[in-house]
């Protein structure tokens, strides 16, 4: 199938037909339906027995199985030499633009953070364009991290309701403590710093692994890749510790106002991406160790995962700056 | 590969990786959604035929407005253009297929079940989404019906489909052009799609972010859009419109592309100002990222922001003007014939420009204080979206149908479809300018008697326009079953692009060996 | 039927009217109140409104002129260069000079528009030195107006749709102010700069009165500023302009602009009313009085969600409700504080103590909930204080 056509141009491999997509659709739509049901049941019918979590897990399992086969097929095709250089380039472009879409997803949340911190937060406290807002939230002062929500400032949800002209939706009690830079004296207990060092290092080790495989040095590749994966796992463990601390010692929760909101959403999505990236790299490690995949000239599976990893790393740098330091 | 035909039966469609099959599925799906969204519009227009509540209750009316907007934008127009992209881009750039064929199939198949789920929310407890297609918080969060959770995940699924589809289009255009097909030789339609796909990849994730924030606010106690916790309902609007404004250019740019193919063909004269067309499209795309708050002039932005967004919005008229002038100059001193595709293309240029003019008026912030959320806005965006996009789609279907099927549509019926549409469309939406200026807000099921006359006109026009779409459907089906075979590959004597060099109907596999482009 | 026939016959006139509109814009909209067949924006009764109107017309005419030129060339090409007449198409396909020209000319046109637009916008944003502040709060689906009095008590009241349900259901003839009439209009003095502080209690609304050239979104938790200075007395009508849920279309605004003296008189009356209410606070009501008053309050404020017979709707049924037949404290808590995260608002700030006592008593004794207990305004007062 591959190779040169009479015109001297490589032919492009177009699979005849494939049931992968339709199976992936079944998986995806089951997940969508299941996840919506699980969440709705938890909110509107707490405690009731339903089968929605079964649907969700069935969907997840189906999807995982489909993806397993899908990636397996793509790998097999490549190893059988069906992929022309041109087709390989399509995969490269695909991965790059996928990462770009992820960048934009994070941009939405960073945008929200900047907007709250620089514009709407101060406005709520009666600064700038929001001069009159102090009529609604007398006593509210803005600072970041936001330790007292506007609701706290006027005396809690009951007072808010009694004040009459205020929206009556939900209880938001500010956190007890925050996770921002604690000063140089206490820096040695500050987990985000450790995490920054770990993640930055892992980008390096990942790059060394890449050099390894390009030099056809599989040992070097496997070693440094394993180190990268280990660093990813350590990062996740530390983040788990941090969350534990935040929730149970600092009183930072999703409903602790916008500080808790933005903290958990940004670091949470990032953590999820680290988990994905770690898993992707682990798969590449297994492929290399167990199956001897990748060569000096062709390591796309690894390369794609490493781009992803570098992307996750860059996001962390921004997080570290804007969530923890500034 | 060789000359394998398609598989037989349903599995052909479920398992296909062929860009033509997938293109056809997209086109049929979007047509079905157009009929569904159109039916919702008919309910809206029937209720607004007279003052008073006759047919539906306000709660249901709001669901109709919401679903009409959502289904038309996400179900009808976007998939229709993706369908055209699937069919035409490989043919226009001399590629054997799309770059990532299996993923292509997945992008399509996500849509039908997703829209089924979305439509089914209408039957859920508490009713379907009732907060407008712009789903502003907190009406869409704290005050939303439970079905909003399904809506949120459906939007996620749609986003996945769109992003994969766009990545595929980008990869195809960047990677699979035939030798000699440099960027500046690509047909204009391909250019507009390259830029559209970029916009999609850039903004669909932001929409995903917006609905994710909603989900968290509704179910997990976050306070993105809640002042009591330190958030801001207006934040939702910023995130939404950062997606939403580029979205309207996602809708219109491929339509510009279609017109840029059709007009030269029927003027028998090359497209005027090709280079400036490319730059204009790119400028529109760039500007579309910095104008979003023109939808929010009345939310209380600081004046500096207001001025910035006003100036940036006005600027968009410049590259758009260049495009309009280029089309007209292409016709100037041409040798014009007025087959149905050309009629639709000319009407599109004409009516879109009218919509552009009202857009420019809306862009003037102080004046928008009077226009905003009135029927003037409704008139504006139907001129841009129905006349701008749906007319371009009709044009495209008539233009390429002979290539797709190898058969000629019925020209008389096509012309009838055009003239009835043209009349019905203007009768529906022109009076809406007047009621809007006179003070009729949008999204209301009932109104004062002083708006009655124009609303009745508008409803009559809508029924005429809607019915004419049945003629369109009939003509297409009739062409497929009974059409006269076309006797030439080229079909239109003024056509110049690559797709006209392959046989009609286009064989299942084309350009297995890339053509040489000089 | 006859009305409809008349309307249809008018439809035939439309094309003529549209042409007329192009020639005589403005003639249609000199008055503050919208008219049938009105084709254009109203300049309204404020200076800013007139400026907006001029701006609108200026941009409109620029578009018309550009449109005539552009469409003129287009239709000329379509007619003059038809294949029958023009067999040999020209082959030119670019001309840098022309292309630059038609980039610069629109740009200059835009500059010309931007100048007056900027000026008007700056004026709209100048809310300083107001003679009077009114806090406007959007509720689902009514407006609350609160006159902020720098010395003394604020005067506040709700403004509800007045149109009869029967008119909406088409079982009664519709009046000329169908859907744009309220039980209590906002009253403003003429020739005074009035600043509106616009906010919302639940979802987004937008306060829009075309003749006063004000449209501002009401955002829960934030206060937006806007202002107007009406130069003519009269009644000006508008509607909520931001989708706010079911009855978004039934949330009108009526502003009554009156002479200063009349305004003062009205204000004095309002203040007296408030004093009277204060007196009522200490009065002992009988069960019948409470139930009668409660029924009125219920039908106005609660029936939309709980049904006229307490049978439920958006909200749960009141008839036989565990809360309405449970301890008064729990019942009061729901009504005064609302249920956060649901459509049930906190009525503690919306209704006065007398009305609260009445409506709760009514709910506990109406719809077959024969609890037999009653609440006095003072109980409500104590309940609120006790929190
Ligand atoms: C296909 C979709 C599409 C397109 C292409 C456009 C194009 C434009 N739109 Fe529109 N718009 C919508 C779809 C679209 N819009 C939708 C859906 C909404 C409402 C959403 C909602 O709230 O639900 C909306 C709302 C909307 C608003 C908000 C109104 C409000 O809610 O208050 C504004 C305000 O600035 C605006 C402006 C513009 C402008 C300046 C353009 C410009 O791109 C137009 C440029 C074109 C021209 C100007 C014509 C050609 C030029 C010439 C022939 C020559 C030069 C002319 C002069 C210099 C006079 N649009
Ligand atoms: C691309 C998008 C698109 C398209 C094509 C249309 C097409 C139409 N739309 Fe629009 N519309 C929107 C996008 C679109 N719309 C959006 C985004 C909104 C805003 C929503 C919101 O406020 O949130 C809106 C809102 C909107 C409103 C305002 C509602 C409100 O504010 O409450 C109205 C009212 O007249 C309307 C009418 C129509 C009509 C008559 C058509 C017609 O062109 C439709 C014609 C098609 C058919 C009719 C289908 C084919 C025929 C049949 C199925 C046969 C049956 C026919 C008969 C019985 C006659 N639309
Ligand atoms: Cu209040 Cu719409
Ligand atoms: Cu826009």
ipTM of the complex: 0.92
Residue nearest to atom 59 of ligand 1 (CA): C63
If asked whether residues C71 and C94 sit together in one domain, one would say yes
Q: Is the CB of C252 under 6 A from ligand 3?
A: no
Instruction: Tell me the residues surrounding ligand 4 (ion) with CB < 5 Å.
Output: B 245
CATH of the domain at B95: 1.20.210.10
Flag whether pLDDT at C256 surpasses 90: yes
Check B17, B133, B136, B501 and give the catalytic one: B133
**pLDDT at residue number A7:** 40
Instruction: Note whether A171 contacts C: Cβ–Cβ < 8 A.
Output: yes
Cα gap A41→B149, rounded to integer Å:
11
Q: Where are the domains of chain A?
A: 1-83
Cα gap C369→C319, rounded to integer Å:
6
Asked whether the beta carbons of residue C340 and residue A163 sit closer than 8 angstroms, the reply is no
Judge whether B260 counts as a catalytic residue. Answer: yes
CA distances from A80 to A84, A283, A284, A285, A303 (A): 11, 20, 18, 20, 19
Flag whether pLDDT at C341 surpasses 70: no
CATH of the domain at C171: 2.60.40.420
Spatial CA neighbour of B287 closest among B320, B259, B263, B262: B320
Asked whether the beta carbons of residue A168 and residue C223 sit closer than 8 angstroms, the reply is no
Q: Coil, helix or strand for C145?
A: strand
Instruction: Note whether A255 contacts C: Cβ–Cβ < 8 A.
Output: no
Cα gap A160→A167, rounded to integer Å:
8
8 A C-beta contact, residue B54 and residue B60: no
Give the domain range for residue C137: 132-278
Q: Is the CB of C215 under 6 A from ligand 3?
A: no
For residue B461, the ligand 2 atom closest to its alpha carbon is 40
Whether residue B437 is contained in a domain is answered as yes
Contacts of B460 (CB under 8 A, 6+ apart): B427, C11
If asked whether residues C13 and C100 sit together in one domain, one would say yes
The domain boundary residue, chosen from C278, C304, C323: C278
The minimal CB distance from A101 to the residues B103, B201, B226 is found for B201
Give the domain range for residue B72: 15-501
Cα gap C97→C103, rounded to integer Å:
10
Which ligand gives the minimal distance to the CA of B312? 1
At CA A192, angle to CA A190 and CA A197, rounded to 5?
110
For residue C70, the ligand 1 atom closest to its alpha carbon is 53
Whether residue B10 is contained in a domain is answered as no
- The chain C residue lying nearest A150, using CA atoms, is C221
**What value does the mean pLDDT take over residues A152-164?**
80
Q: Chain C contacts of B444, Cβ < 8 Å?
A: 239, 248-249
Task: Return the sign of the alpha-carbon dihedral for residues B23, B28, B31, B33.
Answer: negative
If asked whether residues C112 and C209 sit together in one domain, one would say no
Judge whether B395 counts as a catalytic residue. Answer: no
- The chain C residue lying nearest B426, using CA atoms, is C15
**CA-based R_g, chain C, Å:** 28
pLDDT tens, N- to C-terminus, chain B (518 residues): 444 567 778 888 999 999 999 999 999 999 999 999 999 999 999 999 999 999 999 999 999 999 999 999 999 999 999 999 999 999 999 999 999 999 999 999 999 999 999 999 999 988 999 999 999 989 999 899 999 999 999 999 999 999 999 999 999 999 999 999 999 999 999 999 999 999 999 999 999 999 999 999 999 999 999 999 999 999 999 999 999 999 999 999 999 999 999 999 999 999 999 999 999 999 999 999 999 999 999 999 999 999 999 999 999 999 999 999 999 999 999 999 999 999 999 999 999 999 999 999 999 999 999 999 999 999 999 999 999 999 999 999 999 999 999 999 999 999 999 999 999 999 999 999 999 999 999 999 999 999 999 999 999 999 999 999 999 999 999 999 999 999 888 899 999 999 999 998 999 999 988 888 87
For residue C242, the ligand 3 atom closest to its alpha carbon is 2
Cα gap A43→A39, rounded to integer Å:
6
If asked whether residues C250 and C379 sit together in one domain, one would say no
Whether residue B1 is contained in a domain is answered as no
Q: Buried b / exposed e across C61-75, counting CB within 10 Å, b at 16+?
A: ebbeebeeebbeebe
8 A C-beta contact, residue B102 and residue A90: no
Q: Roughly how many angstroms between the first and final C-alpha of chain C, as a whole number?
A: 59
If asked whether residues C263 and C309 sit together in one domain, one would say no
8 A C-beta contact, residue B372 and residue C240: no
Asked whether the beta carbons of residue C221 and residue A167 sit closer than 8 angstroms, the reply is yes
Whether residue B20 is contained in a domain is answered as yes
Pick the CATH number of A1-83 from 1.10.287.70, 3.40.50.620, 1.10.540.10, 2.40.50.140: 1.10.287.70
φ and ψ at residue B7, rounded to 5 degrees: -70, 170
Quote the number of domains for chain C: 3
Q: Chain A contacts of B160, Cβ < 8 Å?
A: 28
Measured in whole angstroms, the distance separating CA B366 from the mean position of its chain's CA atoms is 29
Interface of A with C in 148-167 (CB under 8 A): 150, 157-159, 161-167
Residue nearest to atom 44 of ligand 2 (CA): B38
Reported as a single tens digit per residue, the pLDDT across C128-164 is 999 999 999 999 899 999 999 877 678 889 999 999 8
φ and ψ at residue A155, rounded to 5 degrees: 105, 25
> Distance, CA C248 to ligand 3 centroid (Å)?
4
Asked whether the beta carbons of residue B369 and residue C18 sit closer than 8 angstroms, the reply is no
**pLDDT at residue number C27:** 39
The tokens for A220 are: 């070097």
Q: Strand C132-139 relative to strand C194-200: parallel, antiparallel, unpaired?
A: parallel
8 A C-beta contact, residue B135 and residue B63: no
**pLDDT at residue number C1:** 44
Residue to substitute in B381, B387, B441, B442 for testing ligand 1 pocket (most ligand atoms within 8 angstroms of CB): B381
Whether residue B102 is contained in a domain is answered as yes
Cα gap C152→A30, rounded to integer Å:
62
If asked whether residues C143 and C107 sit together in one domain, one would say no
Quote the number of domains for chain B: 1
For residue B291, the ligand 1 atom closest to its alpha carbon is 35
CATH of the domain at C332: 1.10.760.10
Check B295, B348, B372, B382 and give the catalytic one: B295
Annotate A243-280 with DSSP letters as a single string: HHHIIIII---TTSHHHHHHHHHHHHHHHHHHHHHHHH
CA distances from A318 to A196, A204, A243 (A): 10, 18, 19
Total beta-carbon pairs less than 8 A apart between chain B and chain C: 298
Whether residue B19 is contained in a domain is answered as yes
**What value does the mean pLDDT take over residues C72-79?**
96
Q: How confident is the model at residue A4 (pLDDT cuts 50, 70, 90)?
A: very low
């Amino acid at each position: 199938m591959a190779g040169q056509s009479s015109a001297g141009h490589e032919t492009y491999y177009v699979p005849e037909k494939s049931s992968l997509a339709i199976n992936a659709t079944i998986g995806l739509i089951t997940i969508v339906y299941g996840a919506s049901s699980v969440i709705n049941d938890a909110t509107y019918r707490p405690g009731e027995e339903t089968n929605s979590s079964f649907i969700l897990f069935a969907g997840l399992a189906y999807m995982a199985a489909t993806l397993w086969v899908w990636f397996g097929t793509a790998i097999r095709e490549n190893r059988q030499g069906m992929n022309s250089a041109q087709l390989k380039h399509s995969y490269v472009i695909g991965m790059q633009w996928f990462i770009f879409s992820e960048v934009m997803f994070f941009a939405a949340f960073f945008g929200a953070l900047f907007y709250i911190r620089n514009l709407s937060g101060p406005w709520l406290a009666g600064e700038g364009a929001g001069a009159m807002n102090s009529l609604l939230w007398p006593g509210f002062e803005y600072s970041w991290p936001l330790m007292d929500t506007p609701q706290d400032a006027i005396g809690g949800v009951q007072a808010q309701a009694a004040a009459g002209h205020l929206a009556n939706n939900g209880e938001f009690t500010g956190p007890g403590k925050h996770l921002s830079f604690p000063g140089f004296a206490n820096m040695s207990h500050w987990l985000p710093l450790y995490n920054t060092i770990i993640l930055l290092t892992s980008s390096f080790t990942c790059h060394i692994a890449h050099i390894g495989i390009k030099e056809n040095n599989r040992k070097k590749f496997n070693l440094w890749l394993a180190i990268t994966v280990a660093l990813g796992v350590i990062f996740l463990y530390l983040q788990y510790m941090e969350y534990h601390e935040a929730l149970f010692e600092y009183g930072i929760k999703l409903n602790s106002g916008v500080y808790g909101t933005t903290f958990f959403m940004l670091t949470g999505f990032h953590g999820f991406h680290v988990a994905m990236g770690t898993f992707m790299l682990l798969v590449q490690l297994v492929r290399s160790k167990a199956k001897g995949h990748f060569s000096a000239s062709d390591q796309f599976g690894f390369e794609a995962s490493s781009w992803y990893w570098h992307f996750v790393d860059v996001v962390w740098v921004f997080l570290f700056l804007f969530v923890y330091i500034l | 590969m060789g000359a394998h035909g398609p598989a037989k039966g349903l599995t052909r469609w479920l398992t296909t990786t062929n860009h033509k099959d997938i293109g056809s599925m997209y086109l049929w799906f979007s047509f079905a959604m157009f009929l569904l969204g159109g039916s919702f519009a008919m309910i809206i227009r029937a209720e607004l035929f007279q003052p008073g509540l006759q047919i539906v209750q306000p709660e249901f009316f709001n669901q109709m407005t919401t679903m009409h907007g959502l289904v038309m934008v996400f179900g009808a127009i976007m998939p229709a253009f993706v369908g055209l992209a699937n069919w035409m881009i490989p043919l226009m750039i001399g590629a054997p297929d799309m770059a990532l064929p299996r993923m292509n199939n997945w992008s399509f198949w996500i849509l039908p079940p997703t829209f089924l789920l979305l439509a089914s929310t209408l039957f859920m407890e508490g009713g379907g989404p009732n907060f407008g297609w712009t789903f502003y918080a907190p009406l869409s969060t704290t005050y939303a019906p439970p079905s909003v959770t399904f809506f949120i995940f459906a939007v996620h699924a749609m986003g996945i489909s769109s992003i994969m589809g766009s990545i595929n289009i980008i990869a195809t255009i960047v990677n699979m052009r035939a030798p000699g097909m440099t960027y500046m030789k690509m047909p204009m339609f391909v250019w507009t799609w390259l830029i559209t796909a970029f916009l999609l990849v850039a903004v669909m994730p932001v929409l995903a972010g917006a609905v994710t924030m909603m989900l968290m606010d509704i179910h997990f106690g976050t306070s993105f859009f809640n002042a009591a916790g330190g958030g801001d309902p207006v934040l939702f609007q910023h995130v939404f419109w950062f997606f939403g404004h580029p979205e309207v250019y996602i809708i219109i740019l491929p339509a510009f592309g279609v017109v840029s193919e059709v007009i030269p063909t029927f003027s028998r004269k090359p497209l005027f100002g090709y280079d400036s067309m490319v730059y204009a499209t790119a400028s529109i795309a760039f500007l579309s990222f910095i104008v979003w708050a023109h939808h929010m002039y009345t939310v209380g932005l600081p004046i500096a922001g207001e001025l910035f967004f006003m100036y940036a919005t006005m600027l968009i008229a410049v590259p758009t003007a260049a495009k309009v002038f280029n089309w007209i100059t292409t016709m100037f001193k041409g040798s014009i014939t007025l087959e149905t595709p050309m009629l639709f293309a000319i009407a599109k240029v004409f009516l879109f420009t009218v919509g552009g003019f009202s857009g420019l008026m809306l862009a003037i912030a102080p004046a928008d204080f009077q226009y905003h959320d009135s029927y003037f806005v409704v008139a504006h965006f139907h001129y841009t979206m129905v006349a701008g996009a749906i007319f371009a789609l009709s044009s495209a279907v008539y233009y390429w149908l002979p290539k797709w099927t190898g058969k000629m549509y019925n020209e008389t019926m096509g012309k009838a479809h055009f003239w009835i549409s043209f009349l019905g469309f203007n009768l529906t939406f022109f009076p809406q300018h007047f009621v809007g200026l006179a003070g009729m807000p949008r999204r209301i099921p009932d109104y004062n008697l002083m708006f009655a006359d124009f609303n009745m006109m508008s409803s009559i026009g809508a029924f005429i326009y809607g019915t004419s779409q049945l003629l369109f459907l009939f003509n297409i089906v009739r062409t497929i079953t009974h059409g006269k075979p076309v006797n030439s590959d080229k079909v239109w004597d003024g056509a110049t692009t690559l797709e006209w060099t392959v046989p009609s109907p286009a064989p299942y596999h084309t350009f297995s060996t890339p053509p040489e482009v000089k | 039927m006859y009305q409809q026939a008349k309307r249809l016959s008018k439809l035939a006139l439309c094309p003529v009217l549209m042409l007329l509109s192009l020639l005589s814009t403005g003639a249609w909209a000199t008055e503050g109140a919208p008219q049938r067949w009105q084709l254009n924006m109203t300049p309204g009764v404020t200076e800013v409104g007139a400026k907006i109107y001029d701006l609108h017309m200026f941009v409109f005419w620029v578009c018309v002129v550009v449109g005539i030129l552009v469409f003129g060339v287009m239709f000329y090409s379509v007619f003059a260069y038809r294949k029958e007449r023009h067999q040999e198409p020209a082959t030119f396909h670019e001309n840098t000079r022309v292309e630059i020209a038609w980039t610069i000319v629109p740009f200059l046109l835009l500059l010309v528009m931007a100048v007056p637009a900027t000026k008007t916008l700056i004026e709209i944003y100048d809310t300083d030195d107001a003679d009077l502040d009114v806090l406007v709060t959007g509720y689902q689906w009514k407006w609350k107006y609160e006159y902020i009095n720098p010395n003394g008590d604020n005067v506040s009241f709700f403004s509800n749709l007045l149109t009869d349900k029967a008119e909406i259901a088409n079982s009664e003839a519709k009046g000329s102010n169908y859907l744009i009439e309220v039980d209590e209009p906002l009253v403003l003095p003429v020739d005074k700069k009035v600043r509106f502080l616009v906010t919302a209690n639940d979802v987004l609304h937008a306060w829009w009165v075309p003749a006063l050239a004000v449209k501002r979104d009401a955002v829960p938790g934030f206060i937006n500023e806007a202002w107007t200075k009406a130069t003519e007395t009269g009644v000006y009508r508008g509607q909520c302009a931001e989708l706010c849920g079911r009855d978004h279309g039934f949330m009108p605004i009526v502003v009554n602009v009156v002479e200063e003296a009349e305004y003062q008189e009205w204000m004095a009356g309002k203040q007296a009313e408030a004093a009277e209410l204060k007196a009522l606070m200490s009065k002992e009501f009988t069960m019948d009085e409470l139930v009668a008053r409660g029924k009125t309050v219920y039908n106005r404020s609660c029936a939309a969600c709980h049904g006229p017979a307490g049978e439920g709707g958006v909200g749960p049924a009141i008839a036989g409700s565990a809360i309405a037949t449970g301890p008064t404290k729990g019942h009061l808590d729901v009504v005064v504080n609302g249920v956060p995260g649901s459509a049930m608002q906190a009525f503690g700030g919306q209704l006065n103590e007398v009305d609260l006592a009445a409506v709760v008593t009514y709910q506990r004794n109406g719809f077959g909930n024969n609890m037999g207990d009653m609440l006095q305004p003072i109980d409500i007062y104590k309940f609120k204080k006790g929190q």
